[in-house]
Structure 1
Amino acid sequence: MATLRPEVVTFNRGEVAKTALARVDLAQMRLAAELQRNFVPKTYGPMLMRPPLEFLEPIAEHGARSRMVPFVFSMEDMALVEFCRLGMRFWRQRDGVTVGEHPGDLIERLEPIQRGDAGASFVNGNWLNGLTGWSTWVSGSPEDAPAPEEDNGASFDIGDLSDWLNNLLNGLGAAQTGGGSSGSTITPIYPTAVADGRGLVLNVIPRGGSVRVWQTIPVGAGRAAVGVRIDVTRGPVIFRVNTPSGPAVFDTELDTGYHSIVLPPDLGDYTFEFESRLQREIIVKSIAFEPAGPLVLPYYADGGYNADYYSGDFANLKRLRWYQSGDQMFMAREKRAPGILERRSPVSFSHVIYRPEDGPFSADVTVKQVKLRVDVTEGNGRIFADRPFFRAGHLNALFEVFNQNYNQTFTLGASNAYTDPMRVTGTCFIQNDQLFSERWIVTNYQGFYDGSAYHMVSRDDPDGGYKIKGDPYAANMSKNTFTKNNASINKSEKTTDFITDNNAINFHKFGFRDGTYRSGSLTVNQQYPWGGGKGRCRITRVVSSTECEIEVLKPFFNSTFSDFWKEGEWSDYRGWPTAVGITESRLFWAKGDQMFGSVSDNYVSHDIEASDSGDSAAISRSVSTTGTVDNIRFILPMSRLVVGTEGSISSIRSSSFDEPLTGAAFTPRPATTHGTSPDVQPCRLDARAIYAHRSETRLMEFSYSPQVQDYQARDLNLLNDEILEGVDAIAIQRQPDTRVHAIRPDGTVAMFMTDFLEEVDCWSTVETDGVIEDVAVLPAKGEDAVYYIVRRTTADGTRRYLEKWAREKEGKGGLVGGDCFVRSPSAADAFHHLEGKQVVALRGDEVLADGSEYKPYGTISNGRLVLDGAAVVVSADLKVGLPYRARYKSPKLAYGGRIGTALLQKKAVKSFGFALAHAHRKALRYGPDFDLMDPMPTIEGDEIQAEDAVYTVYDAPMGMWGGGFDTDSRICLECAAPYSAAVLGTIFGITTNES
């Protein structure tokens, strides 16, 4: 026989598969375990009994699964967003304890964001009764006009051709022909505010104008957390909240979506105002005070968009992908419109549709078989196809159409309001007293206004350097000034540039200079037979296969049919993005195997052809590296941009690590064919990515390898391919140790502890009396806050609760209480969430119920703790929770073989000891199996230990072991709530029979 002692075992290698237990030749197997359940390993070797789970509140809906997403704005202001069937419910985590709120000593607190009772309501908040209850103001009306200034020009007659030709030859002039002002009165065009079946419709037709509607409502004093819910069907709209005491307390822009905004309390009467300055229809469907209670913001599914990520099936919600930047969280989900969760204050949020106006567009630029034309160049109108083309799925799709030459119409109604610059080039010359010009401009003016409009010209720069055409020659300048004093104009003008401008590029625009407009409107139609450009629109209603209603986003150049056009990449017809991420100041979206990167530092622009963007222009590239089309399932920024599909993981590189990604420097390189699960969002861990394998039976680590100068994937289940039989979600906790919480379909958690520098990889298992369905982690001081959604069965039926890991340091007193406990209960019936359950109970350091013969479990009846048939008086130090158990089972103890291996040799543990810390005397039981276990000694050093003794350090001599010889000797340890201990290590002597 061979005897070996002592042998030290610590616990930072964790569980291995049963099929790996025979690998006793590996040194790391000596520190491994066949079972490590509810014992939490520490990086440096000990294991602790898992802290209990603290009950916070029921989730929004018991009958359906939910998903949690962290929203971290700062360490002092963060939230947990619960995605459920009803919508998004918000929980706020804050540091510190406010006097009078939620008593307790936790460093961090999580509480649902609440809405208070407003005690008031809007008059006609859905605009079903027209504009009743609302006041309206529009720009351009004479009563709001400023005092008139001295005219710097007058209406004029053109004169005959000889006069004009003399001016031209003298280098002064431009040809102008046409009649004077019409004698008939023309009705001015003003912005409009109307109410129809769609809600409030604001339409600012004149450029530079605006329209406002408002309503004043008194909200009683002492009312806090009053919120308003706004449904914007077609945005963006400017929203203000004014009070008599000063400037606006809320002044922001609300895009298409749902908005929940909290009012500052006790500021008197609130005036709610909507304003638009855009030359297209803006629609607000409704505004209302929110009911009192927890904030639940519905998913947006209006205006032809569908961003309902749940869609009645939790399997759809599992494919939600998100990426947060500051106070915005961008969200993508297969077959749903991309959205943004916007934080407008710590308690105000919006769910809006991500709606860029300049792309992305389909990459092909070939001539289409279908021709398109619009009937307006600005505002709202229609787009037509010359053959059946449009489908229902084209609703909200973008189209970009290129047209030859200019024939644009703009309505102007403010100072500094101009038409779009018109680019003019070519030659102009006189031959045989005839003027030949490629620079003719035809302009039609019609309107009724008070002010002076000008024809302005700039050399080479469409954005600046404009002067009145003809300047500095006063005689010519007057011919390019159109002054009206509350009078009509109906005029056509044909003009050309100077002969001296041959082949020069000039930009012409028409409008009101600063301070020269007072009221009314001027509609300008500008025509030029050369040039051309692109306009953009969004479909607002599909009328038929050949006709759609549109809103113009960038003015079109004319209204003729064109076969040079592009369709937006995203719509119900073409599909929506499936993943999102941010890197190098670009927002990236993915659809299929295509990547779409925004303009640098502009997340809402996808202009891929902007001439002034250069390398900052948007990116649109394919990343397929497997020869087949793979749907991109995640985008993760690391030292390189990493994208994952079900077939492979690739890194996107430029020419070097230091060079930013651009449209030209964008090269995908396949790194591994260990693809990713479509249902699990990966997590970033420093310079590594942790993701679920497409089989969902393994976790993978994706990191850069200096040896191969590229990224590689590492299997984290190399020694335990049995611990995962599926993965529903993962989240990473960084403090006090780095732990990956992987939710398994059976409702338990496979927890992976890792430390790259210490080369520690350790699996363990977490379970409770219920089904754990989701996990999220929020940073906090001292220890990160780990939150679970747990489905439990009580006497009241199936319930789903939001629960939080207690802090590890709370177990240093040797007592941990039980799962689903309530911190600092105050109500006598504080335990309704455990109705009918058997529980353990503590009052301070006194154990009231532990399930033993002398202190049997308590029960919960009518929300009260009942012991021995009597209800227990509730106090702040009463801790009541569900019992749970921690178990450890060692690997095969193949030690002590003098010749060869001790595996399959009979052996016996002859002596055993353990080092503990923060251990209750009743905490630890040990033995060769879980059916034959001994408690900790009652006598230590000839002294009988107190029943409630707690050892800060326990370091007793080794004692005898009760097991006999066996080919598979093991060591088993067990702790049971409410008692706890930290096991620092075990020491044993073993004898092997080699006969």
Structure 2
Amino acid sequence: MPRQNVPLLAFNRGVVSPSALARVDLERMPFYAEQQENWVPHELGGMSLRPGFEFIGEINFGETYLVPFIYSYDDTAIIGIDDENVSIWVDDTQVEYKGGVLTAVANSGFDTDLASWTDADDAGGTSAWVTGGYMGLTGDGTDYARRKQTLTVDASDFNTEHGLKVVVTKGVATIRAGQTDGAKEYLDDIVLEPGTHFLAITPTTDIYLQIEANLQRRTDIDSVEIIYNYLSLPLGASGSWFPRVRTAQSADVVYLAIKDNKPKKIKRYATRSWGITDYSPEDGPFRLINTTTTTITPSALVGDITLTSSADLFKSGHVGALFRVDSIGQTVEKDVTAENQFTDAIKVTGVGTSRAFLLSIAGTFTATCTLQRSVGEPGNWQDVQSWTAPGSINLNYGLDNQTIYYRFGVKTGDFTSGTAELSLVYGLGSTAGIARITGYTSATSVFAEVLSPFGNTNPSEFWYEGMWSDVKGYPSSVSFFEGRLWWAGRQYWYGSKSDAYETFDLDLEGDDAPIIRQIGFGAVDDIAWMLPAQRLLVGTAGNIIAARSSSFEEPLTNSTFNLRQAISYGAAEVNPALIDEDSFYVDRSKQRLMRLIFGRNGFSYGAVDASVMIPDEMVAGIKKILVQRRPDTRIHCILENGDVWMHVFNPVEELRPWVKITTSGDIEDGVVLPGEQEDEVYYIIDRVDGRYMEKWAKQSECVGGTLNKQLDSFSVNASTGLDRFNSET
């Protein structure tokens, strides 16, 4: 039988650049295309015209960076970040509170007073108007300061969604709303940190609104109002950072690292209720202890105070920064106005007279005040002695060489009326007081709010400055890894306490204690990204660095934490992607997509150029990469010139084609959400008549039939909003 030359056809190899045509040694070179645009290769060998893009909505805030919010595969949202605001999209619709309701909050901005807000303070709480136009709420650690208002809802507005906007500038408040006074059917004790919060309420009655706080420092509420507009969270970032943002999500909270700006948190309270706050841990991280003779003196132990330094120390950029001052000696105080209120504890150690401390009682009251102690650590409190009248006494209960904690207060059932001013003073030991600077006066004086009570009001050389501020800078990347929230930037890695994402207490010990390390090699001042792969990776302009414990892959702890250079190909400031055991990142030139392979050289990483066959095609520069897993694994590389190069990835089948995706407009950004059969791929496209969010149609919707979704910017059953087609022919 004569030999035959049978043509073999496969359309799933994608494009090869002209400069790579010399690779005639490659067996599958005949199956590559010189040009393949908007034709998507399939794993089984065929290809099809790419699906159309469905019009989702107009982008109202300029160029926008999209972030996926994925609570579960069927509970998702899209977070849109522009250079000023954050928008939220749920079920392909931007969250908007419609106008038309008659409901209003009286005196919503507190311009001159707290009129229309009923005073409902507990005995130890104080609510008052604050200069500048704020509702000030100050508790005593137990009792609450509280204000209430009943919002009249017209019957025509029942079962209509209302948008409640609350702005908190300082402290922490709790808000509730219900159908009767003190009830919470509409808002169930939502904790509001400093920031802006949008809360959706669909009332069936009048709205009984209540705001309260029990912190010993003042909580300031800037405004409470009903709004009719898009949900737009103010980002509060400055400088030329856009779109340099990194994110990490845990349940309903998304953490943001924004270049040269304070870290943020976006919180979801309900499907259509969201807020944005600063990420502001209250116990660190801190720099090393002061080594100069400069002292810091707090003006009080708790509340809103002044910090005074003995030499020039403070700068205006310290507003928002933490300072920790360790006292010489311990003082704890409490004004008791109700039952079950106690001072903080003092820690007594040593032998003989070194264990003596002073107990004091003042004020006018009817109560029994009880001293309690706990051995070894606070918690197991036992009664020691009680008093019913003012006075002071030096006490020493012995118990040499034991660590004993003492606290003083009034137990449940022992309070009748008045205010008992209680204190314990111990001359030895130390208390770590922490404050956040709230205002700048001079280089030697600042205002501050106390987050952890100081030990006394004496000058101390033993102080620590927080690592994050406008003076010292902020982390530029964030990620979760092995149960910790990690931040990186300015040559440092910061790992929170295990399973406590806002705890950096430097006094904690053990394997779950926070981890803070400085990178001792390479150009690492600006860390481009973090990636939780088999090891925790960071990308810098010069290196890819890996955090490792040992060859046995033990968890990262303070005693096992080590940094090693993994790859010497530097990284661009483009977020990386993880696909199973493979990691992908954009190299420093922004023209190559690199694939990191774990275990290529034993337990280390190896790197290969995933874009080796198209070296000339992405010279415009990659600005973002997206990963789609269904129906095939695809990596979308969005370029600075508005094109997309898509890489279909299946290492088992040795399938790695590249194809070009274009449309009549510039593709600026995108995001991928998980789907049941096919993932949902969204692009932001700047077209002639506007900037739109559009979504890839499913591949199964583009196979012909009555409805075939292959038109770009199409709408199904749309009767309005078609102006974007005016320039089309």
TM-score over 0.5 for the pair: yes
Flag structure 2 segments of 5+ consecutive residues without an equivalent.
none
Query: Shift of the alpha carbon at 1:705?
Result: 2.1
Q: 1:91 to 1:247 in 2, by over 3 A?
A: closer
Measured in 1, the distance between the counterparts of 2:125 and 2:491 equals 47
Q: Is the counterpart of residue 810 in structure 1 residue 701 in structure 2?
A: yes
Q: Is the counterpart of residue 701 in structure 1 residue 599 in structure 2?
A: no
Could you say which residue in structure 2 is the equivalent of 1:132? 115
Measured in 2, the distance between the counterparts of 1:779 and 1:606 equals 34
**Letter matched to residue 108 of structure 2:** G
Q: Is the counterpart of residue 831 in structure 1 residue 722 in structure 2?
A: yes
1:393 is paired with a residue of what secondary structure?
helix
User: Please, which of 367, 378, 383 is the counterpart of residue 451 of structure 1?
Assistant: 367
Q: 1:248 to 1:543 in 2, by over 3 A?
A: farther
Q: Is the counterpart of residue 123 in structure 1 residue 106 in structure 2?
A: yes
User: Please, which of 251, 259, 269 is the counterpart of residue 197 of structure 2?
Assistant: 259
Could you say which residue in structure 2 is the equivalent of 1:410? 334
Q: Which moved more, 1:524-533 or 1:689-698?
A: 524-533
2:104 is paired with a residue of what secondary structure?
coil
Q: Deviations 1:613-634 (Å, cap 9, x if unpaired)?
A: x1111110123443x4442221
Flag structure 1 segments of 5+ consecutive residues without an equivalent.
94-109, 141-188, 302-307, 429-436, 470-479, 484-488, 839-995
User: Please, which of 481, 495, 508 is the counterpart of residue 583 of structure 1?
Assistant: 481
Query: Shift of the alpha carbon at 1:518?
Result: 3.5
Measured in 2, the distance between the counterparts of 1:597 and 1:312 equals 27
- TM-score calculated relative to the size of structure 1: 0.70
Measured in 2, the distance between the counterparts of 1:377 and 1:36 equals 70
Q: Is the 8 A contact 1:455 1:511 kept in 2?
A: yes
Q: Is the 8 A contact 1:652 1:667 kept in 2?
A: yes
Query: Shift of the alpha carbon at 1:837?
Result: 1.6
Identity of aligned residues (%): 31
Measured in 2, the distance between the counterparts of 1:528 and 1:139 equals 31
Q: Deviations 1:386-426 (Å, cap 9, x if unpaired)?
A: 01110001001001111211234332333221112112233
Measured in 2, the distance between the counterparts of 1:663 and 1:3 equals 70
Measured in 1, the distance between the counterparts of 2:717 and 2:345 equals 69
Q: Is the counterpart of residue 196 in structure 1 residue 124 in structure 2?
A: no
User: Please, which of 614, 621, 631 is the counterpart of residue 526 of structure 2?
Assistant: 631
Measured in 1, the distance between the counterparts of 2:625 and 2:104 equals 43
Q: Is the counterpart of residue 461 in structure 1 residue 352 in structure 2?
A: no
User: Please, which of 186, 192, 213 is the counterpart of residue 276 of structure 1?
Assistant: 213
**Letter matched to residue 390 of structure 1:** F
Could you say which residue in structure 2 is the equivalent of 1:897? none
Could you say which residue in structure 2 is the equivalent of 1:514? 412
Q: 1:644 to 1:331 in 2, by over 3 A?
A: same
Q: 1:507 to 1:536 in 2, by over 3 A?
A: same
Q: Deviations 1:26-67 (Å, cap 9, x if unpaired)?
A: 112122111110000112211111111111221113xx3111
1:138 is paired with a residue of what secondary structure?
coil
Q: 1:502 to 1:831 in 2, by over 3 A?
A: closer
Could you say which residue in structure 2 is the equivalent of 1:238? 174
1:561 is paired with a residue of what secondary structure?
coil
Q: Is the 8 A contact 1:598 1:617 kept in 2?
A: yes
Q: Which moved more, 1:408-417 or 1:744-753?
A: 408-417
Measured in 1, the distance between the counterparts of 2:546 and 2:694 equals 37
Q: Deviations 1:515-547 (Å, cap 9, x if unpaired)?
A: 212333222232222222311111011111100
1:833 is paired with a residue of what secondary structure?
helix
Measured in 1, the distance between the counterparts of 2:597 and 2:550 equals 19
Q: Is the counterpart of residue 492 in structure 1 residue 392 in structure 2?
A: yes
Q: 1:520 to 1:712 in 2, by over 3 A?
A: farther
Measured in 2, the distance between the counterparts of 1:35 and 1:661 equals 48
Measured in 2, the distance between the counterparts of 1:324 and 1:132 equals 40
Q: 1:30 to 1:342 in 2, by over 3 A?
A: same
**Letter matched to residue 127 of structure 1:** F
1:280 is paired with a residue of what secondary structure?
coil
Q: Is the counterpart of residue 787 in structure 1 residue 682 in structure 2?
A: yes
Q: How many residues align?
A: 720
Could you say which residue in structure 2 is the equivalent of 1:389? 313
Q: 1:624 to 1:33 in 2, by over 3 A?
A: farther
- TM-score calculated relative to the size of structure 2: 0.95
Q: Is the 8 A contact 1:207 1:418 kept in 2?
A: no
Measured in 2, the distance between the counterparts of 1:333 and 1:756 equals 34
Could you say which residue in structure 2 is the equivalent of 1:618? 514
Could you say which residue in structure 2 is the equivalent of 1:566? 464
User: Please, which of 661, 683, 690 is the counterpart of residue 584 of structure 2?
Assistant: 690
Measured in 1, the distance between the counterparts of 2:23 and 2:584 equals 27
Q: Deviations 1:460-494 (Å, cap 9, x if unpaired)?
A: 3322232123xxxxxxxxxx3225xxxxx4x3322
Could you say which residue in structure 2 is the equivalent of 1:229? 165
Could you say which residue in structure 1 is the equivalent of 2:388? 482
Could you say which residue in structure 1 is the equivalent of 2:72? 74
Query: Shift of the alpha carbon at 1:704?
Result: 0.5
Q: Deviations 1:433-471 (Å, cap 9, x if unpaired)?
A: xxxx223222232222332211223333322232123xx
**Letter matched to residue 60 of structure 1:** N
Measured in 2, the distance between the counterparts of 1:136 and 1:689 equals 57
Map 1:337-416 → 2, pairs under 5 A? 337-362=262-287, 364-365=288-289, 367-416=291-340
Q: Deviations 1:325-379 (Å, cap 9, x if unpaired)?
A: 11111000111110011111111111111111000001x2352242111111111
Q: 1:619 to 1:830 in 2, by over 3 A?
A: closer
User: Please, which of 75, 95, 104 is the counterpart of residue 113 of structure 1?
Assistant: 95
Q: For the aligned residues, what is the CA RMSD? A: 2.0
Measured in 2, the distance between the counterparts of 1:9 and 1:623 equals 52
Q: Deviations 1:631-676 (Å, cap 9, x if unpaired)?
A: 2221111221111111111221112454211111111111101121
Map 1:705-720 → 2, pairs under 5 A? 705-720=599-614
Query: Shift of the alpha carbon at 1:698?
Result: 0.5
Q: Deviations 1:585-640 (Å, cap 9, x if unpaired)?
A: 110011222111111111111113225xx1111110123443x4442221111221
Measured in 2, the distance between the counterparts of 1:583 and 1:723 equals 35
Q: Deviations 1:685-732 (Å, cap 9, x if unpaired)?
A: 112221111110001112202543211222112121112110111111
Measured in 2, the distance between the counterparts of 1:411 and 1:595 equals 41
1:493 is paired with a residue of what secondary structure?
strand
Measured in 2, the distance between the counterparts of 1:642 and 1:770 equals 35
Q: Is the counterpart of residue 542 in structure 1 residue 477 in structure 2?
A: no
Query: Shift of the alpha carbon at 1:73?
Result: 1.6
Q: Is the 8 A contact 1:43 1:754 kept in 2?
A: no
Q: Which moved more, 1:806-815 or 1:277-286?
A: 806-815
**Letter matched to residue 585 of structure 1:** G
Larger Rg: 1
Q: Is the 8 A contact 1:785 1:805 kept in 2?
A: yes
Q: Is the counterpart of residue 289 in structure 1 residue 214 in structure 2?
A: no
Q: 1:622 to 1:28 in 2, by over 3 A?
A: farther
Q: Is the 8 A contact 1:12 1:46 kept in 2?
A: yes
Query: Shift of the alpha carbon at 1:502?
Result: 3.1
Could you say which residue in structure 2 is the equivalent of 1:757? 652
Q: 1:782 to 1:378 in 2, by over 3 A?
A: same
Measured in 2, the distance between the counterparts of 1:560 and 1:777 equals 56
1:588 is paired with a residue of what secondary structure?
strand
Q: Is the 8 A contact 1:15 1:35 kept in 2?
A: yes
2:596 is paired with a residue of what secondary structure?
strand
Q: Is the 8 A contact 1:131 1:195 kept in 2?
A: no
Q: Is the 8 A contact 1:191 1:209 kept in 2?
A: no
Q: Is the 8 A contact 2:408 2:423 kept in 1?
A: no
Measured in 1, the distance between the counterparts of 2:29 and 2:528 equals 36
**Letter matched to residue 589 of structure 2:** S
Measured in 1, the distance between the counterparts of 2:302 and 2:314 equals 21
Query: Shift of the alpha carbon at 1:207?
Result: 3.8
1:19 is paired with a residue of what secondary structure?
helix
Q: Is the 8 A contact 2:370 2:383 kept in 1?
A: no
Q: 1:90 to 1:247 in 2, by over 3 A?
A: closer
**Letter matched to residue 588 of structure 2:** R
Q: Is the 8 A contact 1:639 1:657 kept in 2?
A: no
